[in-house]
Structure 1
């Protein structure tokens, strides 16, 4: 019996081996189909390959129509493309039995094991992408045995270590070599310079042993894109780089490069992106950077650069992005640089630069940071798309522009430490999106305009060190500020009741005329001379009272008339309403329209108004009304409708259900399921708790459960929707909670799409909110799902620290604060974790989620995990399958920068 079992086992093993081993002869189309079925079984039948079924009645080439498969005209498989399909396990030897195979793409799966040498048998292979997997070990020294036809090889984002072998320099036709984001801790060979056809070389984010860039790289005449960020480079950039005549994109950032930049750089190629930031480079920027007439981006911050900005920038009409802050640059900024119509980002702060700004900034510019320089002249009068304007500690003079409506998109305005005079214009109320307003240490005079109190997004206000007079406007009590400083002015009168808080006890110093009946402020008590001024005759008081009542009655009547008129206008809008439903409905559009009253308004913001409407059957819905000033063009309308159709068909527990869309000429009503516990930020942050049903604090198990639920929703959108949906505005206020505190993702950019409908594409495509916005949103228009990972990482930091996204103190954002604190802290919990959840039973879980938040907020998108990986870590944390999980400290320190 034992012998029979042994023979049976041997027979079974040989049978399996015959399936998975390469065969010397080519296969028929029918045999190739069977090979695919064996491949499916080998990979444990992933759901994405369910269409791979053997139908005996189908033709012998039916497999050519299977998902991810492409065949030649005679029915032989040439292409297997299965990226992002949750495939687990190694690559079987049988894959290269498909002898006509030219294209293999298994990007972003869970492929494991070492580099499969069996791929050497794919003799016709031209394209191989095994990036974003779990491959380990070294690249074989005989890698040159792979197909000589290979033009594309990607092994990025795996766990390869050791050296990059010299043999890789013997791939005669390779055009793209993608090896970034691995664990190579040895060397990279000078033999790479032999790859005469090479166009793309990515070696970034590898902990190589310190090395200089080989002179031989200057022989790469066809090289267009060289990326060696965080590759432990030292020494000089070789002079031979000036000879790279095809070079378009150079990124050598975050290294230890020293000496000066090659003087001929940019003169002999059509250079369009240049990044040498975070090095120790000295000397001047090359004079001919823009000589090719194609330069879009100059990034050289955090170096020791001296001298002037090159005069060639005067003629660089293609310039989009210039970041040269934290250097020692001097002289006037080339004046005609400001005429570059594509200019969106200028970051020159912390230098010794001088010059003036044009009266009208480029229409496209969104970020202008020039603090701590020597700029002078007047503040520009027009900047239609500017979002960040930081010009502190310069020599600007004159007055603040009187018409600030042209700055209506500003989120940060800092003019601290200049010589600006005059008053604060009443048009300051036009800055509806401003979060930070700092006009301190200037020569401003006059009264504080009441319009400041109507800025809905303002969280930080600093008007200290000026010559402001008069009383503090009562309307400022309505602001929800995290920081206020009105000290060192000439303000008088009583501090408004809403500002008499211990949080502002240092906010009013050095204003001798100010007083407060509250003892929490460091001010004199109101009374005496100021009180005597209020003693008026009874008759005069009565006359004011009766006169006021008469005026109030008239005003209320007028308000009612105006309100009724406005309701009729809102009801009519520009045409008939059209209802598109995604679920069975027991209401009509008329029922929804009647519910759009002030009594039902529960929220308002830049994206529109939100109403809570109770239907006849007792069901409650949330209705978001978005009104645009103009009718959408056909392309925008089609984009909006396409996204609504996708979201309307989703049936996933962690995504807020879109029930219907009601629209007419310029308005959209999005009807959602109502979430009784509203948004996460209302429960998480103390200043919002008074708006919640109870002053309830979320314990750690609840917070972790919320994180897991939200991650599931984002995973679904990224991986299970076709096409995939990028949220683009992940934040705690867009994570809603049901009765059981189950998390659901809401507001997938629909409001943003409509509000920005009539703006240029380059503006409207910028995604995210301050504090949650990924860094790449500030310098590129090409973003992907990693912007959602960044926003979700900030939410994880909120859940673990209790801080808000913009609550980073001197570091600015929470993400930067957490990173800095983590760098400096020996014991992680101290000073970081929210006191409300400190519990020895959950220490390891909280640390893991905090570190995961740091990893998710990495500066570079490729260093962030996918939402699928984030969810896996969170679920392991909940079930505590291992004692400590998540990235180790060294990896986080490495990846976050």
Structure 2
């Protein structure tokens, strides 16, 4: 008997050891915990699979994170990529979550449900999401996302690759550009395409008609134009179609409307529809709501005797309908206000007056019981039990009733909600509705309270399930209410937050007594093994969370770097992502070492600078660049993705900038034509990047190596300042300078700094002035022994057009067009290269002057550059990479002083 019990205890103990979470999962979740505020209080200990709320595991791996309405604050970091078994990520209804959606999310190949709706995420939709081949649900609605909808290019992924996805929920964001025709194809299984309330423009792509599985299509409240594709008649399963508040090309009512036999709701308000509504349109069997107001519909309206018996609302306000054929059988809401039928003939009063809106203080009454007197923040439910409800706001876009005081209407909605929650087996006792009102958009808005069943609190799983039911458009309200959306509030109460802690059992004592001392010894051994494994896990986690514990301060690299947010990569990772640092991936070289192109698992391209072995100066520059770039974040400064310093390696990982250096483009090697307007936008971008370093970085940073080879151009030709290996923080602001060994690049170097070894912010201004002269001449600073500053000063004549510089200007700048502001631009450049720093402007003054020049040239200083898809006018002419440094050389004290020519 004792042997059997001993074996049983051994098996149980081994199982306990086996079910603890994978170490990488723990590290990733712990990183998320550190990045977020208001994480569940149960998130303690080193095993997320053992009681962390909102976390579900399978075979010791985290497979689900559901944290809807938790009040989370912070950013979603790229550490999420370590959760390689994750299938569900639901962070909806946490308005405190902000920052970009990390591209690393595209590495979670098993993800099937991604719900990030109703947060404050910014930036673009990562194209890497297209790698999620198992994704079923994609909800990014109600955020602050911007940019274009990404599609695949052959080398990069896109959303058109999500052939298993059924839900594209992108509404209520700031997305722009055209809806790509490539986004839709016949292989997609989409049932919901929700793009409402964005800034999308252009025409609706005809490829949308290929997705015959669609049930809900919302394109309303965008900037769409052009004709509505006729092949949308293929969408025979669509039941809700809303394209209102766009500027489509004026056209007659499409005859294919009548072929959409599953249609329940049609909203085409203010879309320039014209012509006569066909009578057979109203015979669509399931049609409930039709809103076509503010168009140019004309002729005689005939709803027809065989209209749908589901029809509740026909809103045709402000059209050109001249007559209405009376038919028996339709007695529901019909609004013809603002039509000639009402204005000229007097019409019928019930159709020619707006429904009178009645204010309502309706609130769901108790269900044949006496409301309880509740303590604290608890509220009495309709069933008169005290609890903490989950609250939010329901908004209905096209209700077919106007009497807001009709309580029977809300009773039907209340019953439908309760039934839906019970159908989905959610722990809901009852629901309460209150304060129905109409907002400025004429939406019916009301408060919703959902009460838990069996206890006073919901747990996190219950809240997540409720949010899912109310946001996925599968809940169908009664026909009189029509389409809706839900905005949930943070839920501050959860079951078991301060109670219900697991209690130990006395069974172990009894069994222990039975099996005797041998079993006790065995358990102690197992406990020791477990404690040892947990210690090792904690050490590994600490090493990953604190990577500089082993920093080698030798080789003049200084003390441990003080970083903010840069990611530490392993040598093996970078080796893999560069194909073992292959020659094919080598994209440049310099005094620091080699530069390689790499591709992260997320699909993001990066540039990896690998230091030469044994470079003592490189070690110091390595540390400097990490420290500086990890705490500078600006759209005109190149972003540091991470670094590596193991195995005697020193590597910096940057974002890969698509269009290379400014120098390459000026030399014509990139195939990009830089006209005057583009050069001005490059100048303002670079100036703002340097201004940020001088004025907003803490402490201020002097770049010390501003040159056209260190200004990179992204895919929209936005300028980004790069290469901080020589940069110096200005620790003592009052002192105003740093006394340091002279380093920099010949031709760009401040002569005052060279002479005095006193580095100031005005040294960067001098270098930038040289770059401005490069922008208008496309000449190197020192070319065939001639110095660009001297050449411009000698050639210019302020009494003549364009200062008589036609012979020195770059022909590609556009001499056939008016170069408005060029003279002021040259004046600014020459003021920047004054011999003494006191005579030079500050970078903030430079920015203001370039903005003034741009306005003079008819340009908006704050507008983005045009995408380079329209920029290439010839094939590449030897353009290899954005990080080469072979046309100019860096100075570190080995060259004679510059000879400064007098003006």
* TM-score category of the 2 structures, normalised to the smaller one: 0.3 to 0.5
Higher RCO (C-alpha 8 Å, min separation 6): 2
Q: TM-score, normalised by structure 1?
A: 0.40
- Flag the structure with larger Rg: 2
